[in-house]
Amino acid sequence: MFRIALFLGTNIAILLVLGVTMSIFGVEGILDEQGINLDLASLLLISSIIGFAGSFISLMASKWIAKKTMGVTIIDVPKNSTEEWLIEVLKTISSKAEISTPELGIFKSNQLNAFATGASRNKSLIALSSGLINQMNKDEVEAVIAHEVSHVSSGDMITMSLIQGVVNTFVIFFSRIFGHIVDRMIFKVQKGHGPAYFITSLIAQILLSILANIIVMWFSRKREYAADSSAANLVGSYKMISALKTLSLKSKTNLPDQMAAFGISGKEETSFKSLFSSHPSIESRIEALLKHS
């Protein structure tokens, strides 16, 4: 799974663009109280505006990014019996979950995967890989759809964006403080800000964004367990367990981060890399389902 790919990459890019724009238009001047010390209250306010803007722009663009990057074909009118069955299953499960039926799409990939994305519960997209449809039995496909519907019904995409917004805020806040400290203590700039402030701030922002991603991915792993449990309630735990076992045997994810956080399989990592994984191991997910079945 791409750990620092589309979702984080888009988010960082937006933050950098907004940060540079802020500097060009002199907005950061209000952060410099009397040209000497940072105005922390103003800094926190501006950081929160930029931080949440980056997160919600990413959220609003998520469905469009998914369709373009993954080559998702939306099923508006079923072309065969398989597509008819998929739409019927999605409608049934969505009704049980008490949400509007999401758009259903298919993307070409031999890998077994699926994802949910979208700006809200009622304007979401669920996409399945062609490999998953062809290699899983109907019970397992049904469980995968239920898993993705659970992400949508729980509002995980909105909550993820809120958490990302909070994280972004503190990334920007502390990166500017680091830039200010370097500017004043190392380069001895006494008033205003020199080039070191902007360079240090941008570098710190990128590094802190990567570290802050640990928090976002921790939340994502917790939501995977919840989505599995919800799917088990919707279609039966044996179907969800069977789907996970098939994924464990056949699946290697290849989803951008924008979608990977709400994909079905994820890539299992070990040791330090597991901190940056959006999914817990499939074995631990099966164990959790068995305990509650």
Q: Rounded to whole angstroms, how far apart are CA atoms 56 and 51? A: 9
- In contact, 114 and 129? CB cutoff 8 Å: yes
Give the number of other CB atoms < 10 A from CB of residue 162. 15
Give the number of other CB atoms < 10 A from CB of residue 82. 15
DSSP letter assigned to residue 263: B
Q: Rounded to whole angstroms, how far apart are CA atoms 209 and 221? A: 18
- Per the DSSP assignment, residues forming a β-bridge with 116 are 126
- In contact, 121 and 62? CB cutoff 8 Å: no
- In contact, 41 and 32? CB cutoff 8 Å: no
Is 148 a known active-site residue? yes
Q: Which of 28, 142, 148, 268 is catalytic?
A: 148
Measuring CA to CA, how many Å separate 91 from each of 77, 95, 268? 14, 6, 31
Q: Rounded to whole angstroms, how far apart are CA atoms 215 and 222? A: 11
Look-up: residue for tokens 């799974």?
Answer: 1
Q: Rounded to whole angstroms, how far apart are CA atoms 134 and 1? A: 22
E strands in the chain: 32-33, 37-38, 73-74, 103-107, 114-118, 124-129
Which residues are catalytic, by number? 148
